[in-house]
């Protein structure tokens, strides 16, 4: 059985836009990027840089008419992609392959919980922007410092909590600790992503302590402490 190769697209950086002290937006343009088939929130690509490394990144925005995508990248400083992004300039070349990722289902949700760290904030926002307006949403995001928030879409029934890590705090810990102490309304569908250990802890808690059905808990480890190129 052969797997069909994923389409891949040459692109170059055309804009660099700092969003927060920890997150920067790279806008890529490529002749064929109009064909990138983005069909649902949280879809992602493998972003490959000329040095040969590639990692998973969410398509934050796709503008087919302009042949452009935006990708928001955490500048954690500790891996080849984060280091490349920190010094990326217009004209830098890259290759995107995909898109990949399953559609998270929120049909029938009476409340949606979105829990993320900065790596998963772009994906969480793609969900937030596409949820039906009547569904109440709780967004809980762990960030590096209080100034690292981003503007949210105006939406009735949206509760947001920005959790600023204490200096030296282990990434993911505050998110897990907070959710373990948060009441989860009946009828919740949850989407969780970020550091893998934190995501696993929260997932277990929702399934075991709040008895959420498995199909109502979408979760993915986007990276893992001490592991390069974690495959969630
Ligand atoms: C489906 C999916 C979508 C994703 N979308 C995004 C996105 O839109 N934006 C984004 O920034 N990331 C996103 N990620 C996470 C990103 O792929 C990882 O953070 C990746 O490891 C970064 O590569 P790197 O070369 O910088 O570090 P790696 O070489 O992979 O890792 C080097 C070291 O850095 C640590 N590390 C990796 N990521 C982080 C981090 N975020 N904070 C602190 N330490 C880290 C690792 O534990 C390791 O010790 C996504 C991941 C998945 C699976």
**Could you give the residue range(s) of every CATH 2.40.30.10 domain in the chain?**
8-100
Can you identify the CATH homologous superfamily of domain 8-100? Translation factors (2.40.30.10)
pLDDT reading at 1 higher than 70: no
Our answer on whether the CB atom of 55 is closer than 6 Å to any ligand 1 atom is yes
Question: What's the 108 CA to ligand 1 centre distance in angstroms?
Answer: 32
Residue ranges, comma separated, of all CATH 3.40.50.80 domains in the chain are 111-223
CB 28 within 8 A of CB 116: no
Q: What is the mean pLDDT of the chain?
A: 96
Provide the pLDDT for residue 192: 98
Tokens 């809980």 belong to residue? 140
Higher pLDDT pick, 105 / 3: 105
Per-residue pLDDT for 6 more than 90?
Answer: no
The CATH number fitting domain 111-223, selected from 1.10.1520.10, 3.40.50.80, 2.60.40.2890, 3.20.20.10: 3.40.50.80
CA gap 134, 140 in Å, rounded:
19
Q: Exposed, middle or buried: residue 172 (CB in 10 Å: 0-12, 13-18, 19+)?
A: buried
Q: How many CB atoms lie within 10 A of CB 51?
A: 10
Q: Any idea what the Cα angle at residue 143 is, between residues 218 and 202, rounded to 5°?
A: 30
Higher pLDDT, 187 or 168: 187
| Residue nearest atom 43 in ligand 1 by C-alpha distance | 76
Taking residues 193-213, report their average pLDDT: 98
pLDDT value at 138 more than 60: yes
Best residue among 82, 168, 231 to mutate for probing ligand 1's pocket (most ligand atoms within 8 Å of CB) is 82
| Pairing outcome for strands 44-48 and 93-100 | antiparallel
Q: Is 74 in the pocket of ligand 1 (CB under 6 A)?
A: yes
CA of 156 to the centre of ligand 1 (A): 32
């Amino acid at each position: 059985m052969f797997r069909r190769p994923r389409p891949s697209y040459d692109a170059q950086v055309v804009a660099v836009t700092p969003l927060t002290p920890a997150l920067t937006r790279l806008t890529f343009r490529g002749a064929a990027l109009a064909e990138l088939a983005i069909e649902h929130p949280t879809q992602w690509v493998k972003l490959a840089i000329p040095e040969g490394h590639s990692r998973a990144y969410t398509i934050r925005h796709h503008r087919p008419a302009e042949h452009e995508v935006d990708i928001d990248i955490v500048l954690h400083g500790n891996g080849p992609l984060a280091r490349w992004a920190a010094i990326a300039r217009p004209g830098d070349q890259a290759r995107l392959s995909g898109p990949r990722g399953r559609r998270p289902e929120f049909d029938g949700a009476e409340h949606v919980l979105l829990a993320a760290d900065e790596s998963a904030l772009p994906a969480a926002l793609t969900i937030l922007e596409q949820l039906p307006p009547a569904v109440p949403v709780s967004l809980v995001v762990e960030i590096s410092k209080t100034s690292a928030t981003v503007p949210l879409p105006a939406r009735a029934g949206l509760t947001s909590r920005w959790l600023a890590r204490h200096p030296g705090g282990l990434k993911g810990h505050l998110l897990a600790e907070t959710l373990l102490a948060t009441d989860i309304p009946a009828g919740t569908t949850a989407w969780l992503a970020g550091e893998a250990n934190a995501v696993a802890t929260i997932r277990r808690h929702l399934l075991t302590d709040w008895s959420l059905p498995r199909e109502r808990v979408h979760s993915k480890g986007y990276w893992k402490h001490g592991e390069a190129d974690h495959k969630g």
